[in-house]
Amino acid sequence: MTSQATQAEPIRALVLCGYGLNCDHETAHALELAGARADRVHINSLIDGSVSLDDYRIMVFVGGFSWGDDHGAGVIQAVRMKGRMGDSLLDFVAAGKLVMGICNGFQVLVNLGLLPGFDGDYRRRTVALTYNDCGNFRDQWVHLRAETASPCVFTQGLTHLELPVRHGEGKFYASPEIIDRLGADGQIALKYAGADGSPAGGRFPNNPNGSVADIAGICDPTGRVFGLMPHPESFNHWTTHPDWTRICDRARREGRSVGDGPTPGTQMFINAVNYF
Amino acid sequence: MPHRLEITLRPDLLDAEGEGVRRKARDYFGLTLDRVRTVHVVTMDVDLNTEQLEALRCEVFTNPVTQISSYAPLDLPFDWCVWVGCRPGVRDNPGATAAEAMEDLLGVGLGPGEGVFTSRRYCIGGRDLTEADMRQIAAELLANDIIQQWRVFSARDWHGETGIGYILPKVMLNHTPTVTTIATESDAALQAVSDQRNLALNPADIPTIRSYFLDDRVRTERAAVGLCDPTDIELEYISQARSDHCNHNTFGGLFRYRETGVGDTEIIDSLFKTCIEAPTLALQKEKDWVVSVLWDNAGVGRFDADHHYVVTGETHNSPSNMEAYGGAITGIVGVYRDPLGTGRGSKLLMGSYGFCVGPRDYDGPLRPRLHPRRLLDGVIEGVRDGGNKSGIPTPFGQVLFHHGYLGKCLVFVTALGLMPAISAGEPTEQKKTSPGELVIMCGGRVGKDGIHGVTASSETYSENTPAGHVQIGDPYTQKKMHDFLLEARDRGLIRFVTDNGGGGLSSSVGESARFSGGCVVELDKIPLKYDGLDQWEIWISESQERMTVAVAPGDLDAFMALSARHAVESTVIGRYTDSGKLHITWKGTTCAYVDMDLLARGFPQWDFDAEWITPELRGLTEPVLGRPADLGGVLADMLARPNICSKEWIVRQYDHEVQGTSVIKPLVGKDRDVPSDGAVIRPVLKSCRGLAFSQALLPQYSAIDAFHMTACTIDEALRRLLAVGARLDEIGGVDNFCWPSIQYDPAANPDGKFKAAQLVRACKALRETCLAYGVPLLSGKDSMYVDGHLAGPYGETRKVSGPETLMFSATGIVEDVHRCTTSDVKAPGDGIYVIGTTADELGGSEYYEMFGYVGVHVPRVVPDAFIPLYRAVETAVVRGLVASVHGVYRGGLGIHLALCAMGGGLGMDVDLTRMVSAGALRDDTALFSESAGRFVVTVAPDRRKVFERLFGGLACARVGEVTDNGRLKVTGAAGRRIVDAGVSDLKACWQAPFGDLI
């Protein structure tokens, strides 16, 4: 599928698991489709040193309900990793490697302060993901617009795509100043949009959670740390798309074939692997 | 000195939770609240200094961007404040994770007697709200007094410094564990003890129990270990094991079945043996894909050469009926332990739900414990949190409203798992315990919760039903255990694993010890939530999230190290032996010592008189109903009926895509809002092989004959699978029976003999239909006593019995998911075909129900006639000949043509006189008959020839064409246009009832 897949030395990717995380298997699968060698690693294996971050070039904070999300999604995982892993996360970022946080993982990144990472400060909590305005957990596919001007490594080449959201706390919130700065620096990598790619304008359900400025994902100023609420790892096969039977039927009638080539979800991981 | 932290969202942020309360207060009670703000309260009864408290406040409990917090009461304006917290001993999941966070951040664990408790207070603003209004909101919306306590403060009597005060729901038993010996001098005496201790011993069992303990050999052996009369532990153990919930005495019972007016009586010795076990064993011989059935926690079927899938279904009715959220979350999290405890363990793949409740808008005179609307809210949320937080997709589910479920609701939960065919060199589906292996309890700790759960669920709900068995499931703790056990399995560390469900250790250890032939359990080793439990309570407690595992001594260190890595508590509580005895000790002293085979010997079989009265003898007839002139109006109103209309608001609360396996989702079509026939997942991500799942529920037909109810339910589940692309030859079934009490009593259950006959007939239909279609029953359960005694307006109580209900779940294999089909029509110009024969079968139909009729012509299933059609559908799907496939179910062709059109956002022109029918049908019959065995399919012009050749000579007719004019046009007898409606208008009707719910 990609040049990486055939390389002798695949890029190694670490996928966190344990403590109620639950998207680890499909995230590892998507990374392998992208040509990486992915290991599912328990948070405690990083903490007790039996696995070292140094062996990896991509680290993914996956979706799930770490510690049940009981005191703010991703908060306790951030507290544990901050307290028990010293500066190894900061060193990982400083070493020019890639960090991705999906859903619960995005929530962890903003609580760690790895995002938005203004001025190289990867410790400050300046943005938040809070309860959906709709008041409930919601599973739906959304249209997304990728910010072409963004330095985000993961969204390079993507313009308009669809992915599923599945969360109860995905409303991106920050002060107007912070939002302006994120926009100005091209750190708003993904925005919720309408079917035609036009801005969702805060309207439910195109913007499923009431996120300020339709923000679905942001990156740090370098573009190497990326967090998003939608689930790219879930769209790892064409038959995962909600309309796939309709798309295939139309293609057949038009004498086209579909389903070869990577899905937009997998493409994000390919971008990560190809970065190196 | 306890510390109380209050946290709330910044004033400028929308409080979605508060908004929800405001909306429900308006919708449910007509109360106008101007604003509701939620304050989260964390009360820490822990010795902490100021710096530590501040660190916790800032690092853990307060989001600096969105929240404000204070250890003094937050000064929020309100007219009324309602505080809601847990009762002592009720599982407080956020409290538990708060304690974990505290330990992580400060390295300070909970000392003895210390605790962290979470609660909420709602600051409510509104003009002329009274205390009575607040009490109603507290009692009927915010809190359930079974598990929660609440207080109401007015702005006047609120003290800014004191706030809610310090409320610490600690369990303080101040009780020394004691083993009590029970005198057995007479049957009456033992019966008295049973009543007084709520043992629910069956009177017929009592002589057997006594004779065992009076047996000389037994007494000598017991004397040798210091025992004489039975101890409370032993009697509780027997009571658990003999309960209908664990032992299925009803299905194992002896039935004397006769039809009124027909002389001879048929004796059926065990419905389970004759109607479930026998056909399944026969089919297992024919079908090599059936791997393991009838003995483990779930059934096992082959998925592919390297994997098996696992399936089972459960109900959690009685607890949900009393505490909807707690009952439902405990139910779904509980059924997820069954695949985990099947073979040497399975990874959970997906779950499904079925909710049967009273009318959501019920405003009649009876007062169920929870109003159906509130009950439904609770079970929806319980399954949502239980499934989502377990990381298991919920891609299928159904909701059914019926007056009969006012007495007791039904909550069906189904679980599917996947195991490698071989793990650590051995077949994964096999397991046993051997002498010398250690008994290990993993997961949660033991408390008073769940005590007498199984005996209570084996009783009709009444004022005296103990609420103690209502619990709150903890998916977080279980998810950690799930990940841990699967890794232990793959490393070959697990010899045997089973879950602690009904009966707790009493069941799990008792059952696992049968393989080795005995065990010794040291009760004092079992980790407790709090001190003061009696030994018998520890033994039978149903505290959740626990598994019992057999581990070889040599593997213990590796097992424990892995357990620690996953932050799961595991404890050695005994060892398996071949002594033939269940031997329980407390600090070295024997407190139970019974023969392993005690339960197998000589307990009397339950027996029932079953008397069938035919519908005709019961006076059922077809109604005298003139043909409606406005059938379009009937169709529009039927689409808006609660059991037909859209329930998207529930589906979207459930994560149906986690694990990245989703192929056919619960909602399909152009606008992704029409329910699919079935769910399909791709359990092995590297493979294109699929697993299809569907369920069906048709209890309305039981009003005529539970035989046909059962046959139609099975047929519908199968057609749902075929519609999405499953193969007919590899379909497995799961039967979940929910029945009212069938034990005749002239006063308490005067129609018990008839209900028993309905059960016999349902089981006969199960046997016949499964054999005819070649569907083995991979798993199944029964839950009886679906009755309730509801309070009425005059202080009377009225018994309300649920309709005889079968939830039938079906699993099937899809060889290549690229061939899966959906129900939405795809393109104008496609031909529309009705497959199957439509007959005058409106008995029990949605159409008759709308007019208040039952009728008598209930749909019949004729497998011999249907199977050739199903084979052809299978072929058409595999060869890609069909653009859309949809079964015809509840509501008949009218409803299901409309759903196909809505899914595609296109019009349809249909001439019903062209379809295959049994005799000439009146237009309304043709439109709404619920005849089984039917599909609606659409076929692209370039596939027409091949398709029609495939169906040549079969009951299949081209009835019309898909159009681009957005209208559903139906032609009836004499070329008359009977329906001409805009598809978007029909959809609006269908979405209207619950459309504003999210």
**What share of residues in chain B are helix, strand, coil (percent, to 5)?**
35, 25, 40
Spatial neighbors of B1 by CB under 8 A, at least 6 apart, are none
Amino acid letter for position B200: A
Position with higher pLDDT, B70 vs B246: B70
What ipTM was assigned to the predicted interfaces of this complex?
0.96
CB-CB under 8 Å, A69 with B389: yes
Phi-psi domain of B194 (left: phi exceeds 0; alpha: psi -120 through 50; beta: other): alpha
Average pLDDT over residues B530-538: 91
Clarify whether A152 is annotated catalytic.
no
Whether B312 and B415 have beta carbons less than 8 Å apart is answered as: yes
Residue of chain A whose Cα is closest to the Cα of B394: A139
CB-CB under 8 Å, B818 with A239: yes
| Nearest CA-CA partner of A16 in A86, A136, A102 | A102
Average pLDDT over residues B269-275: 96
Facing B822 at nearest CB: one of A67, A166, A245: A245
Whether B136 and chain A come into contact, CB under 8 Å, resolves to: no
Name the pLDDT band for A2 (thresholds 50, 70, 90).
very low
Residue of chain A whose Cα is closest to the Cα of B19: A135
Whether B877 and chain A come into contact, CB under 8 Å, resolves to: no
Domain A10-269: top CATH class: alpha beta
Give the bridge partners for B782, in sequence order. Answer: B737
CB-CB under 8 Å, A135 with B998: yes
Whether B229 and chain A come into contact, CB under 8 Å, resolves to: no
A276 min Cα distance to partner chain B (Å): 25
* Residue B370 burial (10 A CB sphere; 0-12, 13-18, 19+): buried
B998 min Cα distance to partner chain A (Å): 7
Clarify whether A254 is annotated catalytic.
no
Distance CA B577, CA B585 (A): 14
Tokens 């330095």 -> residue = A151
Residue B463 has pLDDT above 80, yes or no: no
Number of CB atoms found within 10 A of residue B554's CB: 8
Q: What is the pLDDT of residue B460?
A: 59
Helices (H), A100-164: 104-112
Catalytic residue among A143, A167, A231, A241: A231
Give the bridge partners for B151, in sequence order. Answer: B83
Name the pLDDT band for B786 (thresholds 50, 70, 90).
very high
Structure tokens at B615: 């519908």
DSSP notation for B895-909: HHHHHHHHHHT-EEE
Catalytic residue among A23, A162, A233, A241: A233
B484 min Cα distance to partner chain A (Å): 9
Chain B neighbors of A60, CB-CB under 8 A: none
Average pLDDT over residues A9-34: 97
Q: What is the pLDDT of residue B465?
A: 43
Q: Where are the domains of chain A?
A: 10-269
| Nearest CA-CA partner of A106 in A230, A250, A245 | A230
Number of CB atoms found within 10 A of residue B176's CB: 8
Chain A neighbors of B479, CB-CB under 8 A: 20, 22, 65
Q: Give per-residue pLDDT as tens, B725-760.
A: 999 999 999 999 999 999 999 999 999 999 999 999
Q: What is the pLDDT of residue B461?
A: 52
Facing A20 at nearest CB: one of B476, B664, B817: B476
Chain B neighbors of A136, CB-CB under 8 A: 653, 998
Residue B600 has pLDDT above 90, yes or no: no
Catalytic residue among A23, A103, A152, A219: A103
| Nearest CA-CA partner of B468 in B197, B790, B193, B90 | B90
Lowest mean pLDDT among B140-154, B408-422, B906-920: B140-154
Q: What is the pLDDT of residue B996?
A: 87
Facing A137 at nearest CB: one of B65, B101, B653: B653
What share of chain B has pLDDT > 70, as a percent? 98
Name the pLDDT band for B201 (thresholds 50, 70, 90).
confident
Chain B neighbors of A26, CB-CB under 8 A: 659-661, 685
Q: What is the pLDDT of residue B489?
A: 98
Position with higher pLDDT, B200 vs B886: B886
Distance CA B518, CA B735 (A): 32
Q: What is the pLDDT of residue B455?
A: 55
Structure tokens at A11: 């890029």
Average pLDDT over residues B587-599: 94
Whether B687 and chain A come into contact, CB under 8 Å, resolves to: no
CB-CB under 8 Å, A23 with B659: yes
Lowest mean pLDDT among B172-186, B514-528, B582-596, B651-665: B172-186
Residue B682 has pLDDT above 80, yes or no: yes
CB-CB under 8 Å, B652 with A68: no
Distance CA A238, CA B710 (A): 38
Whether B19 and chain A come into contact, CB under 8 Å, resolves to: yes
Facing A25 at nearest CB: one of B63, B567, B659: B659
Chain A neighbors of B940, CB-CB under 8 A: 249, 253
Give how far the C-alpha of residue A86 lies from the chain's centroid of Cα atoms, to the nearest Å: 24
From the candidates B103, B659, B877, which should be mutated to test the interface with A, based on the most A CB atoms within 10 A? Answer: B659
Q: Give per-residue pLDDT as tens, A174-210.
A: 999 999 999 999 999 999 999 999 999 999 999 999 9
Distance CA B295, CA B514 (A): 13
Q: Give per-residue pLDDT as tens, B279-296.
A: 999 999 999 999 999 999
DSSP, collapsed to helix, strand or coil, labels residue A193 as strand
Name the pLDDT band for B469 (thresholds 50, 70, 90).
low
Q: Give per-residue pLDDT as tens, B99-152.
A: 999 999 999 889 888 999 999 999 999 999 999 999 999 999 999 888 889 999
| Nearest CA-CA partner of B455 in B237, B176, B780 | B237
Whether A219 and A189 have beta carbons less than 8 Å apart is answered as: yes
Distance CA B781, CA B760 (A): 15
Name the pLDDT band for A3 (thresholds 50, 70, 90).
very low
Distance CA B277, CA A132 (A): 49
Position with higher pLDDT, B457 vs A86: A86
Average pLDDT over residues B922-944: 98
Mean pLDDT, chain B, rounded, equals 95
Distance CA B732, CA A90 (A): 52
Residue A128 has pLDDT above 80, yes or no: yes
Clarify whether A233 is annotated catalytic.
yes
Residue of chain A whose Cα is closest to the Cα of B681: A240
Average pLDDT over residues B444-471: 64
Pairing of strands B581-586, B519-522: parallel
Whether B665 and chain A come into contact, CB under 8 Å, resolves to: yes
pTM: 0.96
DSSP notation for A55-76: G-SEEEE--B-GGGGTTSTTHH
CB-CB under 8 Å, A130 with B17: no
Which residues numbered 462-501 in B keep a CB inside 8 Å of some CB on A?
Answer: 474-476, 479-480, 483
Give the bridge partners for A14, in sequence order. Answer: A39, A59
Q: What is the pLDDT of residue B309?
A: 98
Average pLDDT over residues B84-92: 88
Q: Give per-residue pLDDT as tens, A221-271.
A: 999 999 999 999 999 999 999 999 999 999 999 998 876 789 999 999 999
CB-CB under 8 Å, A134 with B66: no
Cβ pairs bridging A and B (under 8 Å): 193
CB-CB under 8 Å, B16 with A65: no
Chain B neighbors of A80, CB-CB under 8 A: 104
Q: Give per-residue pLDDT as tens, B936-986.
A: 999 999 999 999 999 999 999 999 999 999 999 999 999 999 999 999 999
Structure tokens at B368: 């169920």
Chain A neighbors of B476, CB-CB under 8 A: 20, 65, 67-68, 70
